[in-house]
């Protein structure tokens, strides 16, 4: 499979990191939201260093789009690293009750520390972090049981920090998604791009869709054949995209196939789970 080098670090991300550093003193705990399909690639090690010393709960969001057995293996691996972890389907709310229990346990610990110092009990202050478009705002809306944070299918919907009150016991700081300045492993940029963490405007989405088609053809060829009614799979991603475009009627003048339209279709339907569950990052020692 050919490689593609994708990098994306808009200016507002550097500003967000500075704001996080300034606000960490008032935060009791961190909720790190990762994509269950790419638990390693969606882990921002820069943020991990930034919040070192704070209790962290890891949420494997979009678990409905990942392979359940591999998500369970990732949970075990992360918990061995002393990272309490919960897998969540943000659409249905599966896993929410388990997460709320973990947050409540942190609240009790903070309250006990305050009591020992002779201070009054107060609400827990949590910071929600993660890469763009991983589901941070959707998670906050679920916990708050109302729409208080803007959500969208494109990365970069959240533009500035905001505090959200959840009942009288929890406050959550929602901040824009943050990546890191350079992806050392080309697979990281590719995985972030095909799962929607990187804006389609900043990479060659046609070429990336070729690579995605090759990946799916290798891992689950029947998914492509069944979804797009293909009798056989052509060799190579470009030919596969052309076949998909032909079957869907994406025609330009002269009978040419609209490759851009086919590429965007494949990306969108992969991200929505319409080609089945995928876990791209394998758990350690798996």
pLDDT in tens, 7-28: 666 666 777 788 788 888 889 9
pLDDT of 2: 47
Which alpha helices (DSSP H) does the chain contain, by range?
11-23, 45-50, 68-80, 96-116, 136-144, 186-194, 205-219, 221-228, 237-247, 259-271
Q: Where are the domains of the chain?
A: 11-174, 204-271
pLDDT above 60 (res 153):
no
pLDDT digit string, tens, across residues 95-131: 999 999 999 998 888 888 877 888 877 889 999 999 9
Confidence band of 160 (pLDDT split at 50, 70, 90):
low
What's the pLDDT score for residue 150? 56
- Say what the pLDDT of residue 23 is: 81
- Cβ within 8 Å of residue 100, ≥6 positions away: 143
3.40.50.300, 3.50.50.60, 3.40.50.1100, 2.60.40.420: which CATH number matches 11-174?
Answer: 3.40.50.300
Does residue 78 register a pLDDT over 90? yes
- CA 94, CA 158: separation in Å to the nearest integer? 24
Give the side-chain half-sphere CA count within 13 A for 23. 21
Q: What mean pLDDT do residues 203-231 have?
A: 95
* Nearest Cα residue to 127 out of 220, 248, 44, 68: 44
Strands (E), 146-187: 162-166, 170-174
Bridging pattern class, strands 85-87 and 56-61? parallel
Token pair listed for 251: 């025609």
For residue 62 the two structure tokens come to 């979009």
CA angle 210, 213, 215 (to 5 degrees): 110
Encode pLDDT of 173-195 as tens digits: 888 888 776 777 888 999 999 99
Q: Provide the pLDDT for residue 1.
A: 47
- What pTM, to 2 d.p., does this model score? 0.89
User: Per-residue pLDDT averaged across 233-240, rounded?
Assistant: 94
Give the CATH fold of the 204-271 domain: Conserved Hypothetical Protein Ylqf; Chain: A; domain 2 (1.10.1580)
Whole-number average pLDDT of the chain: 88
């Amino acid at each position: 499979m050919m490689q593609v080098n994708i990098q994306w670090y808009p200016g507002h991300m550097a500003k967000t990191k500075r704001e996080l550093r300034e606000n960490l003193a008032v935060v009791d705990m961190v909720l790190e939201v990762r994509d269950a399909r790419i638990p390693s690639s969606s882990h921002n090690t820069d943020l991990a260093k930034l919040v070192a010393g704070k209790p962290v709960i890891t949420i494997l969001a979009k678990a409905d789009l990942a392979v359940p057995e591999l998500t369970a293996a990732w949970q075990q691996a992360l918990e061995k690293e002393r990272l309490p972890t919960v897998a969540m389907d943000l659409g249905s709310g599966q896993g929410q009750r388990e997460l709320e229990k973990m947050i409540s346990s942190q609240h009790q610990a903070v309250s006990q520390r305050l009591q020992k110092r002779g201070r009054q009990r107060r609400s827990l202050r949590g910071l929600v972090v993660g890469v763009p478009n991983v589901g941070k705002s959707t998670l906050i809306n679920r916990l708050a049981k109302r729409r208080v944070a803007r959500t969208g299918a494109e990365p970069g919907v959240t533009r500035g920090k905001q505090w959200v009150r959840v009942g009288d016991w929890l406050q959550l700081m929602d901040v824009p998604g943050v990546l890191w300045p350079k992806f050392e492993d080309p697979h990281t940029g590719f995985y972030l791009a095909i799962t929607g963490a990187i804006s389609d405007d900043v990479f060659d989405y046609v070429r990336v869709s070729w690579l995605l088609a090759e990946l799916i053809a290798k891992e689950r060829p029947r998914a492509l054949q069944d979804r797009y009614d293909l009798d056989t799979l052509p060799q190579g991603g470009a030919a596969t995209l052309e076949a998909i475009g032909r079957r869907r009627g994406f025609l330009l003048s002269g009978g040419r196939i609209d490759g851009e339209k086919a590429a965007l279709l494949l990306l969108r339907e992969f991200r929505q789970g319409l080609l089945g569950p995928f876990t791209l990052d394998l758990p350690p020692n798996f």
